[in-house]
Structure 1
Amino acid sequence: MFTQPSISLWSIVKLSPAKIAITWSMVILENVLLILLPLFIGYAIDGVLANDTTPLFWFAASLFGLVAVSVLRRFYDTRVYGGIRVRLAERVAHNLREADVSSKSARLTMSRELVDFLENDLPALMTAAIQLVSIVIILATFHTYFAVSVLVASSGMLLVYGCCHNTFKRLNGKLNDQTEQQVKVLSGKPFAALSAHLEKLKKHEIALSDTEALVYGFIFALLFISVLCNLWLVNILPSPSTGEVFSILTYSLEFVDTAIMLPVTLQVLSRLSEITQRLNRDNDTQLTKEGSYEV
């Protein structure tokens, strides 16, 4: 029996490994410059107060370097991932050549989300990983308690998301099941069927959105508690300078912005895991399942 080539994030990376490696290298360089900005700002503040402009020049150089790398990466990424989307769509269409038009149309659209993840979400995840490690290290240089505070908050955040992972996957599955029926509903079904289809889409989207809101509410609460703790812990430093206080508060707030990317990315991975399972189903299984759906 002919075995279709499976589709996964790794198989997509292997479509253009060298070009993707270049984009990842630029992401790492961009993040190194980004993570150093608050530290350079703190040094620049202390330098200006001491009539020393050298730290200010270093801060300006890092800003211009960050802008240049960011712009070049985005020019390059658009072209690389645009080509990958075309090649992936051709593979998906070939694998689903025996599926009905409604499912094929929906899954072609879903397959683009895999490339969107590599282009948009994975760099954000790399940013989060690099910055979280850097922030913990930098905060620890001021005092260990600052690092412990954000580590405890991040552990609680991952625990909250872990409890909801299966719920996200199940809700995304229901939404994708209904989405696959759209072309079929638009092709000759009465208006009442279309209305019912749209209502079901709305119901699944609301359920997913409500779950997201509750999860992120808990997560933001944990992260902001860590910021308040670090602000209070400034009292343990012996005669902290204005630049030091600014750096500690800035890195603590940056930790919130960065840490929230982890559950966001994990949620995307939950959706993509359901999509890859759907794309890799045997055609006979697909047709049987599709015939049993109710619109």
Structure 2
Amino acid sequence: MRPSARRPAGRLAGRPLTLRGLLGAFWPQISVTWGLTLAEVVMFALIPLLIGIAIDGLLAANFEAFILLGAVLAALVLLGTLRRVYDTRAYGLIRVELGKELAKRSEDIPVSRLNARLGMGRELVNFLESDAPESMTAVVRVLAALVILAGFHPGLALAAMAALTATMLTYALAHNSFFRLNATLNARAEQQVGVLETRSGPKLGAHLLSLRKSEIRISDTEGLIYGTILTALLGMEMFNLWFATQSLGVTAGGVFSIVTYSWDFVESALILPMTLQTLSRLSEITIRINQMEAAE
């Protein structure tokens, strides 16, 4: 009997090493941290509106909205602190279990490849800890911005929707390129330990140069996509600022809310294609780290 057969089964035993597999194995921990994240983002989404109302109230010598704003900000501080304390413990457990399961399934794989894949596997957990909550935050903020802008005038929300559509179409055109470029980068990363073991300066130089070229190609693609998306989103911000001041009869607090939510929309909409790009990379990593079972 192989030594691995005597080891106790972990939470990931029999599961694919994918985002879905991690969610299925650790759903209690992830549900708590994502629930706290959603509560936090909803409160964040309300802040600009509460500030606008507080501005109008203070100008009229009414302090009720100002006091409410202070209470919400205090609750936000408490909630954000508790979430971060819990996150470190929950996702630390997931990283440990994933690393153990990767090693258990990889006894016949060269150490150089296993070393690279352990790092790649951690990217799955990093996504669940950082990118997924950030994308949920972005979705909630985008929806909140659209609803509140539509409350001021439908034209403001339509401008935002047009910018969002341009954003998603731009990313869709680059998806295949991102997948292909990340596949090349990951393949070279798996070769790194083997190159180091040769103790050959020329081979190491060639390897590092190839890594640099792959990273430059990814960066250039990211830069082009970012510039195109940001142009569309900033155009929306300028339109909403012009429309709010020239065509709507709203108060100073109302103009502040419109401009703030438009900018909040810009920041949040920028996160969505970045999240999709990360998913493109993780989809290639998922295929790569699950290939090890065929090698056993």
TM-score bracket, normalised by the shorter chain, equals over 0.9
- Partner Cα distance (2:65, 2:171) in 1: 41
Matched, 1:253 2:263: yes
The residue type equivalent to 2:85 in the other structure is F
Are 1:4 and 1:95, in contact at CA under 8 Å, matched by a contact in 2?
no
Matched, 1:126 2:136: yes
Q: Choose the corresponding residue for 1:276, options 237, 261, 286.
A: 286
The residue type equivalent to 1:222 in the other structure is A
Q: Choose the corresponding residue for 2:209, options 174, 180, 199.
A: 199
- Partner Cα distance (1:98, 1:59) in 2: 59
Deviation string 1:90-114 (CA, Å, 9 cap, x unpaired) is 1111222211111110001100000
- Partner Cα distance (1:54, 1:272) in 2: 48
Q: Choose the corresponding residue for 2:277, options 267, 271, 274.
A: 267
Deviation string 1:19-60 (CA, Å, 9 cap, x unpaired) is 111111101100110000000000010001000011101111
Q: Once the two structures are aligned, what percentage of the paired residues are identical? A: 43
Are 1:168 and 1:267, in contact at CA under 8 Å, matched by a contact in 2?
yes
- Partner Cα distance (2:148, 2:293) in 1: 52
Matched, 1:236 2:251: no
Q: Choose the corresponding residue for 1:37, options 19, 31, 47.
A: 47
Give the 4+ runs in structure 1 shifted more than 3 A: none
Are 1:171 and 1:208, in contact at CA under 8 Å, matched by a contact in 2?
yes
- Partner Cα distance (2:132, 2:208) in 1: 31
- Partner Cα distance (2:167, 2:77) in 1: 31
Matched, 1:156 2:166: yes
Please give the TM-score of this superposition, normalised by the length of structure 2: 0.93
1:290 aligns with: none
Q: CA deviation at 1:283?
A: 4.8
Q: CA deviation at 1:188?
A: 2.5
- The DSSP-based 3-state class of the residue aligned with 2:61 is coil
Matched, 1:169 2:140: no
- The DSSP-based 3-state class of the residue aligned with 2:25 is coil
- Partner Cα distance (2:39, 2:15) in 1: 34
- The DSSP-based 3-state class of the residue aligned with 2:284 is helix
Are 1:15 and 1:84, in contact at CA under 8 Å, matched by a contact in 2?
no
- The DSSP-based 3-state class of the residue aligned with 1:240 is coil
Matched, 1:88 2:98: yes
Matched, 1:100 2:130: no
Matched, 1:212 2:222: yes
Please give the TM-score of this superposition, normalised by the length of structure 1: 0.93
The 5 Å alignment of 1:173-184 reads 173-184=183-194
2:79 aligns with: 69
1:26 aligns with: 36
- Partner Cα distance (2:292, 2:124) in 1: 19
Aligned in 2, Cα 1:232/1:64: closer, same or farther, shift over 3 Å? same
Deviation string 1:220-277 (CA, Å, 9 cap, x unpaired) is 000000001111211221x310000000000001111111010110010000000000
2:10 aligns with: none
Unaligned runs of 5+ in 1: 288-295
The residue type equivalent to 1:191 in the other structure is G
Are 1:103 and 1:181, in contact at CA under 8 Å, matched by a contact in 2?
yes
- Number of residue pairs aligned between Structure 1 and Structure 2: 284
Deviation string 1:62-107 (CA, Å, 9 cap, x unpaired) is 1111111111101000000000000011111122221111111000
- The DSSP-based 3-state class of the residue aligned with 2:68 is helix
Matched, 1:227 2:240: no
Deviation string 1:161-191 (CA, Å, 9 cap, x unpaired) is 0000010011000000000011101113411
Are 2:109 and 2:292, in contact at CA under 8 Å, matched by a contact in 1?
no
